[in-house]
């Protein structure tokens, strides 16, 4: 199973990249996990146009058969064990890659988001940089839960 984590824009904060590298490295033990950052437009655009352009860039990264999960504030919430169980089911039944996507600062283009699975990490709002760290840590935690390893301590 390949897991692809897509995000709009790279982070410039070294500490964020360091945290991501730690968890992405740990995840290699469990699955092929890649993170790809999609370059967003740097010109000042209306939010709707920016979301549309981001959607076009994201769509180019997707393949037929991908199971796509958007990280969205209005998505389904899980506790860590529930997320691990969902991940397990997706890995058992997915025809293609499992793709998790963090949108840009205005969220997702409504047309792009239509019909896709949505997951929320919290009812709170976090910066896009922090969401990346929280998500890869939860992905790592989910694999340790599925393997019965002591990281989670539940």
Q: Residues 80-101: what's their mean pLDDT?
A: 95
With cut-offs at 50, 70 and 90, classify the pLDDT of residue 133.
Answer: very high
Q: Residues 103-116: what's their mean pLDDT?
A: 93
Instruction: Give the angle 85-86-90 at the CA atoms, nearest 5°.
Output: 120
Question: What domains can be seen in the chain, in order of their start residue?
Answer: 2-146 (3.40.1280.10)
Q: Is the pLDDT of residue 154 over 60?
A: no
With cut-offs at 50, 70 and 90, classify the pLDDT of residue 42.
Answer: low
What mean pLDDT, rounded, does the chain reach?
93
Q: 11 or 37: whose pLDDT is higher? A: 37
With cut-offs at 50, 70 and 90, classify the pLDDT of residue 128.
Answer: confident
Q: Strand, coil or helix: what is 69?
A: strand
DSSP strands (E only) in 48-144: 67-77, 98-102, 117-120
For the full predicted model, state whether its pTM sits above 0.85: yes
Q: Residues 29-42: what's their mean pLDDT?
A: 89
Q: Residues of the chain with pLDDT > 70: what percent? A: 98
What's residue 10's pLDDT? Answer: 85
Which of 43, 30, 50 shows the shortest CA–CA distance to 103?
Answer: 50
Model confidence over 59-79: pLDDT tens digits? 999 999 999 999 999 999 999
Residue listed under structure tokens 């997706």: 90
Q: Residues 46-59: what's their mean pLDDT?
A: 93
């Amino acid at each position: 199973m390949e897991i692809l984590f897509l995000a709009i824009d790279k982070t410039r904060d070294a500490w964020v990249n360091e945290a991501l590298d730690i968890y992405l490295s740990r995840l290699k033990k469990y699955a092929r996990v890649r993170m790809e950052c999609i370059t967003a437009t740097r010109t000042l655009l209306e939010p709707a146009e920016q979301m549309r352009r981001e959607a076009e860039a994201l769509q180019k990264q997707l393949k037929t058969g991908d199971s796509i999960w958007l990280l969205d504030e209005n998505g389904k919430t899980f506790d860590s064990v529930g997320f691990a169980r969902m991940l397990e089911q997706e890995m058992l039944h997915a025809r293609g890659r499992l793709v998790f996507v963090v949108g840009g600062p205005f969220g997702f283009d409504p047309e792009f988001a239509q019909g896709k699975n949505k997951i929320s990490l919290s009812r709170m709002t976090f910066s896009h940089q922090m969401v990346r760290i929280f998500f890869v840590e939860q992905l790592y935690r989910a694999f340790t839960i599925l393997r019965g390893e002591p990281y989670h301590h539940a």
